[in-house]
Amino acid sequence: MPFLHPLQDSAERDAILAGGPLVRYPEKANLILLTSRPPQLETPLHYFDRAITPNEAFYVRYHIFPIPTRVDLATWRLRVGGLVERPLELSLDDLKTKFPPTRLVAVNQCSGNGRGYFEPHVFGGQWSNGAMGNAEWVGARLQDILRAAGIKPGAAEATFNGLDEPAAPSVPDFVKSLTVQHLMEDPDVLVAYQMNGAELPMLNGFPARLVVPGWYATYWVKHLSEIMVLDHAFEGFWMAKAYRIPDTPCGCVEPGSTPARSVSIQRMNVRAIIATPKNGARVALARPVTLKGVAFDGGYGITQVEFSDDRGATWRRVELGPDFGRYSFREWSALWIPKTPGYYRLMVRATNRAGESQPIEPLWNPGGYLRNVIERVDLTVA
Amino acid sequence: MKLAAACLSLGLALVLVNRAEEKTTVKEIKLPPDDAAAELKPGPGVEAVRAQCAICHSTDYIVRQPGGDAKRWEAEVKKMVTVFGAPTSDADAKVIVEYLASRYGPQAKKSSHSKAARPR
């Protein structure tokens, strides 16, 4: 059932977010420029009509500058130290040959993906929905590496550092941590040196990056160079102060308010993205319109995607593409034939194996994280 | 057009580095310069912003924010100084906050459609 009047609100914000210039960076296709230094480049939405995001279209996000622009594999090493029996210094060849290569398709999504839509607005990268990508990663299991190093009793966390070093010692280096329990329970955490069958683009972490399936990209440290095992919880800036969400079941608070307590962001929630048609598009009456996009979650796996053209009153299941595993984008598509002229709002929602779905109204938190409201496109049928 | 040509030669240089006949162990890229379109609005204090903020980051970190009042910008500038070690004096910080709040102030309230969910 169409609306009588056009719906302005979402199209308006879309125009602002999509207004960033397209830029061409090394090894990259034209991407949306958020910032130049350090670079933040967004994947245009149309790439999400398929399950695998091409390397050249994969978004880019750094925290500190300068970033690595030159890596010599003759000298690059991944060092493993701290509370271990045998500290390691692994070359890229060591990573490839000393540990069984493990293959995994997994979504990498920035914690702040969709931040630009937050109301009230929040500071931070004003991403539309393109701060994400899905790739086939090949790498060494972190478990295997840690076993080779031999974790000593009393180990609590491991920290992950990359080649990006701050220009001044006063700037907190980008270091993340995960619990040893997480690392030993999850065999899918990888040190990945291959992305969609090729070496990693420099701007996506060459020569190797951490892959933490199901978890937001903040943990997927690029240009990985050092793993340290600690006997205590790591308290660095990027864990203790940044990437925090409200300590509430939804990770949200009353819009505009400050949470009483916060916790580190972790697992991704359920989302479905509409790649095509574009928001604000005009389509012809009685002609079939193909809707396409991807759905994903934090690792339970997507079981169904549904579509509504009546403001969410009724929903029907749409076609799902091939299943590349529970951490992957799942392609979805639907055919829709508008039978009456007017203004339509098409909505798409996903549900995962745990029964989790998406809210009809957006949740809010001061960091602009965890956006997973049911996405929509507004179309004019004439 | 010039920009396109520059980008093209940049890409070519990269290919040459990566596909050199003898197997190189080096991978190298060249980053484009800061986006010239992210020019700061003119106004009192703009020199201080250029001199201080742009040491560590491009100006699009400012011009592409949604805008904020003096309190919001003050928190941001304070973070840059206390957390990220910006070598900015208190006097400069004051000038910078005034500039940012006046040139990149809060945006007009948006439509009433976007209600946010209540926390559960």
- Does A11 fall in a domain? no
Q: For chain A, what is the total number of helices (H) and then of strands (E)?
A: 5, 26
For residue A235, what are the domain limits?
66-116+133-264
With CA atoms as reference, the chain B residue closest to A93 would be: B25
Residue A19 has pLDDT above 50, yes or no: yes
pLDDT of residue A38: 95
pLDDT of residue A311: 87
Residue A374 has pLDDT above 90, yes or no: yes
- Do A105 and A235 share a domain, yes or no? yes
- Does B13 fall in a domain? no
Tell me what the mean pLDDT of segment B95-101 comes to. 97
With CA atoms as reference, the chain A residue closest to B38 would be: A35
CATH for A81: 3.90.420.10
Residue B109 has pLDDT above 60, yes or no: no
Interatomic CA distance for residues A125 and A114, integer angstroms: 9
Interatomic CA distance for residues A355 and A304, integer angstroms: 10
- Does A257 fall in a domain? yes
CATH for A369: 2.60.40.650
pLDDT of residue B1: 45
| Lowest mean per-residue pLDDT among A82-86, A167-171, A260-264 | A167-171
Tell me what the mean pLDDT of segment A330-349 comes to. 96
pLDDT of residue A293: 98
Residue B8 has pLDDT above 80, yes or no: no
Q: Kindly indicate the confidence band of residue A70, based on its pLDDT and cuts at 50, 70 and 90.
A: very high
Residue A238 has pLDDT above 60, yes or no: yes
With CA atoms as reference, the chain B residue closest to A117 would be: B114
- Do A340 and A297 share a domain, yes or no? yes
Please indicate if any CB of chain B lies within 8 Å of the CB of A13. yes
- Do A143 and A247 share a domain, yes or no? yes
Q: Kindly indicate the confidence band of residue A167, based on its pLDDT and cuts at 50, 70 and 90.
A: confident
Q: Indicate yes or no: CB of B114 within 8 angstroms of CB of A364.
A: no
- Does A43 fall in a domain? no
Residue A8 has pLDDT above 70, yes or no: no
Interatomic CA distance for residues A344 and B22, integer angstroms: 59
CATH for B67: 1.10.760.10
Name the average pLDDT for chain A.
95
Partner residue opposite B57 with nearest CB, options A27, A38, A254: A38
- Does B82 fall in a domain? yes
Please indicate if any CB of chain B lies within 8 Å of the CB of A33. yes
Which tens digits make up the pLDDT trace of B73-97?
Answer: 999 999 999 988 888 999 999 999 9
pLDDT of residue A20: 73
Q: Indicate yes or no: CB of B26 within 8 angstroms of CB of A72.
A: yes
- Do A206 and A158 share a domain, yes or no? yes
With CA atoms as reference, the chain A residue closest to B115 would be: A361
Q: Kindly indicate the confidence band of residue A169, based on its pLDDT and cuts at 50, 70 and 90.
A: confident
Answer with the residue of higher pLDDT: B19 or A3: A3
Q: Indicate yes or no: CB of B33 within 8 angstroms of CB of A36.
A: yes
Q: How far is CA A233 from CA A159, A240, A348, in A?
A: 9, 10, 40
- Asked if residue A257 lies in contact with residue A282, where contact means CB atoms within 8 angstroms, the answer is no
ipTM: 0.91
* Sequence-distant (≥ 6) Cβ neighbours of residue A190 within 8 angstroms: A102, A104, A137, A138, A139, A140, A141, A142, A210, A211
Tell me what the mean pLDDT of segment A47-60 comes to. 98
Please state, for a pLDDT cut of 90, what percent of chain A lies above it. Answer: 91
- Does A159 fall in a domain? yes
- Do A280 and A249 share a domain, yes or no? no
* Test the A interface: residue of B1, B3, B56, B69 with most A CBs within 10 Å: B56
How many separate domains does chain B show? 1
Q: Indicate yes or no: CB of B83 within 8 angstroms of CB of A359.
A: no
- Do A229 and A88 share a domain, yes or no? yes
- Do A329 and A184 share a domain, yes or no? no
pLDDT of residue A363: 96
How many separate domains does chain A show? 2
For residue B61, what are the domain limits?
46-111
- Do A157 and A244 share a domain, yes or no? yes
- Does A126 fall in a domain? no
- Asked if residue B48 lies in contact with residue B99, where contact means CB atoms within 8 angstroms, the answer is yes
Tell me what the mean pLDDT of segment B58-86 comes to. 93
- Asked if residue A140 lies in contact with residue A55, where contact means CB atoms within 8 angstroms, the answer is no
- Does A146 fall in a domain? yes
Residue B3 has pLDDT above 90, yes or no: no
| Lowest mean per-residue pLDDT among A25-34, A85-94, B106-115 | B106-115
- Do A163 and A250 share a domain, yes or no? yes
Backbone angles phi, psi at A292, to 5 degrees: -140, 155
- Do A155 and A100 share a domain, yes or no? yes
- Do A209 and A296 share a domain, yes or no? no
- Do A252 and A275 share a domain, yes or no? no
Tell me what the mean pLDDT of segment A115-142 comes to. 96
**Domain final position from A264, A286, A309:** A264
Name the A residues in 231-270 with CB < 8 Å from any B CB: 237, 241, 246, 248-250, 252-255
Partner residue opposite B10 with nearest CB, options A26, A237, A362: A26
> How close does chain B come to A170, measured CA to CA in Å?
5
Enumerate the residues of chain A whose CB falls inside 8 A of the CB of residue B120: 248-250
- DSSP summary character for residue A3: B
Q: Indicate yes or no: CB of B84 within 8 angstroms of CB of A37.
A: no
pLDDT of residue A2: 76
- Does B54 fall in a domain? yes
Which tens digits make up the pLDDT trace of A246-300?
Answer: 999 999 999 999 999 999 999 999 999 999 999 999 999 999 999 999 999 999 9
Q: Kindly indicate the confidence band of residue B119, based on its pLDDT and cuts at 50, 70 and 90.
A: very low
Please indicate if any CB of chain B lies within 8 Å of the CB of A313. no
